Amino acid sequence: MDTAATAALPRPTPAARVGGLLPGVLLSMGLAAGAMGVRKIPGLEHLSPAMIAILLGIALRRVIGLRPGVRGGLVFSMRTLLRLAVVLLGLQVTFSQIVGMGVTTLLAVIAGLLVCFFGTVWLGARLGVEPKLARLIATGTSICGASAIVAGNSVTRAKDEDVGYALAAITLLGIVAMLTEPAISLLLHMLPGQAGVWLGASLHDVAQVVVASSQLGDEAMRSATIAKMVRILMLAPMVLAMAAYEHRQHKGRKAEDEPHAKIPVPWFVFGFLALAGINSAGLVPAEVIRTTGLTAGIMLAAAVGAMGFAMDLRALHAKGLRPLILAVASWLLIGTVALSLSYL
């Protein structure tokens, strides 16, 4: 078809564009709803909706296959819904909670995060893991699991199978950590607040932190939750730093390959910080905070479920065991560093 004929074609109306996205978005939300339902099964309530959603997405893909009509909606869920979820997570953080931890504890949590991130990237290079996949594993382990992986990928722009691999590995190891670390803290006779800082500074997902620390009492749960909030707050500067790094990596490309190269600015990060600031000022009712937290969880589950459905398991298998070895090493690294720093 020639250019003139193409230009003469009518542009799709907004209703048509929405209609094209609807099947994939409904599929993604259905996976999120299914994940919420599975969590109500006794014994499974400690699993995060995002983890369940990705497993449901993978299973459903095996049953019905990937239909062309859902692609647009899946991409919308993986990108737009995910970014909205990260923005809403800002209402779960207040700067006063962070400052209340004390400078020493605050610096210890941040130090553990940075050691884990850069140590994982360094080890990934030694193991021969693809750099973008290594950075996703480092981001998920050091910050906040699935939400950090998908937020980091907004600037890393890794392959879908890399994102899926990182999500699967981090989810699996997060469950293992949640089940083992409280028992280890008891064996080490750690004080409740001390154990809470360790759990909050090392476990991957917010739900895992709450469930694990609640077994050790209210003081441990408070300390763990605040330590985890510090890591979540670090999501914004880490993603911005990753964006600047990606820009620098691609700066050497020829002008004809990338004529207008710019730093990929993740604007949703500023939305996250803005809502955190509003919440810190005490302007948000508790009920709104609770509702937005639930909404963010559903959006995140929908985004990750869409990734699971779009994932090609054959591509994951082709990557071999090295990325999994890296994920295990990353978990052991942050666990060991956070344990050492918790004694401060």
Lowest mean pLDDT among 39-53, 286-300, 321-335: 39-53
In a domain, 2, yes or no: no
In a domain, 15, yes or no: no
Comparing 145 with 298, which gets the higher pLDDT? Answer: 298
In a domain, 41, yes or no: yes
What is the model's pLDDT at position 144? 78
pLDDT band at 145 (very low <50, low <70, confident <90, very high): confident
What digits encode the pLDDT tens for the residues 51-99?
A: 788 789 888 988 888 777 888 888 888 778 877 887 887 887 777 777 7
The domain of 300 spans 24-252+262-342
Query: Is it the case that residue 100 has pLDDT exceeding 80?
Result: no
Query: 123: closest CA among 326, 294, 312?
Result: 326
In a domain, 9, yes or no: no
Region 262-291 average pLDDT: 80
Comparing 189 with 232, which gets the higher pLDDT? Answer: 189
Helices 131-139 and 145-156, packing angle to 10 deg: 140
Comparing 303 with 185, which gets the higher pLDDT? Answer: 185
Hey, CA dihedral for 163, 238, 142, 92, is it positive or negative?
negative
In a domain, 240, yes or no: yes
In a domain, 4, yes or no: no
What digits encode the pLDDT tens for the residues 30-48?
A: 999 999 999 888 877 767 7
In a domain, 130, yes or no: yes
* Residues 101/226, Cβ–Cβ less than 8 Å: yes
What digits encode the pLDDT tens for the residues 196-245?
A: 889 988 988 776 787 688 778 878 877 887 788 788 878 878 888 888 77
pLDDT band at 251 (very low <50, low <70, confident <90, very high): low
What is the model's pLDDT at position 258? 42
Residue 317 backbone phi and psi in degrees, to 5:
-60, -35
- Distance CA(51)–CA(304), nearest Å, equals 8
Query: Is it the case that residue 259 has pLDDT exceeding 60?
Result: no
List % helix, strand, coil for the chain (3-state, nearest 5): 80, 0, 20
What is the model's pLDDT at position 46? 67
Tally DSSP H helices, then E strands, for the chain. Answer: 18, 0
Total domain count, the chain: 1
Comparing 257 with 316, which gets the higher pLDDT? Answer: 316
pLDDT band at 332 (very low <50, low <70, confident <90, very high): very high
Mean pLDDT estimate for the chain: 80
In a domain, 8, yes or no: no
What is the model's pLDDT at position 216? 84
What is the model's pLDDT at position 53? 86
